[in-house]
Each structure stands twice: as C-alpha cells, then as structure tokens.
Amino acid sequence: MKAITALCAAALLTVGMAGGVLAAQTSVTGHLRDSFCYVGMGAHGASHQKCAIGCAKAGIPVVLVDDKTDNYYVLLPPKNAQPLPSSIINKMEDEVTVTGQEYNKGGVRFLTVESVK
C-alpha cells in the first residue's frame, strides 16, 4: 500500500513539474463574445452579433463570459486540428451553456466545447 501511495505521489509530482494541467468536466452558462471586440472595445450585445460571428469565423478566439462570476473561458474545439463547432459560431452574443473539459493554465481558463445548449 505504501508503494502504491508513493507511486501516485511521484506521478502527480511529475505531472506538476512538466507543467501539465488536470481537466475537469464542467458546464458554464454565459454569453459568447469575440475576444477582440469585447476585450479591446467593449463591444457586445445584439447589435454586435453580426460582427462577432464574422470575427469567430475569421478565427478570433471566442470567450464564454460567465455573467455571475465574470470569469472568462477561452473556448477550444473538442479535438485538436478542428474549428469551433457551428453551434458556437451561430450563437455569438447569445446566452448558452457549454459543457466540456475545463483547463487552467497560467491563470487562463479554457473550456472544450463538447455540447452547447
């Protein structure tokens, strides 16, 4: 039992030293914003939706802003080398609930898009 505990502790220490992050499944409700216009100019809302969709299609990072906590989540596709799903891009500026894996690295929150409601 002591050997197993020591092995687990060593594995966790190795992951931490390598800069790895642990993911947790979570759901976050908030508004979808294009990061450039929202962060740089404060643009948001229904009047900004067309621009936000264009920015998201152009590859500007999309953030989910949790209105209750004001936490920002940079959205990631569910798999590497894929774009964000159209269910995100078509709902820019809307309130949605995104479920996925949450990662925290360097003080930044990331959330993979596994489902959108």
Please write the tens of the pLDDT for every residue from 47-106: 999 999 999 999 999 999 998 999 999 999 999 999 999 999 999 999 999 999 999 999
Task: With beta carbons less than 8 A apart as the criterion, state whether 62 and 116 touch.
Answer: no
> For the chain, how are helix, strand and coil distributed in percent, rounded to 5?
35, 30, 35
- φ and ψ of 87, to 5 deg: -65, -20
**Is 14 a residue whose pLDDT tops 50?**
no
Domain boundaries, the chain: 21-116
**Is 43 a residue whose pLDDT tops 50?**
yes
At 109, the pLDDT band (50, 70, 90 cuts) reads very high
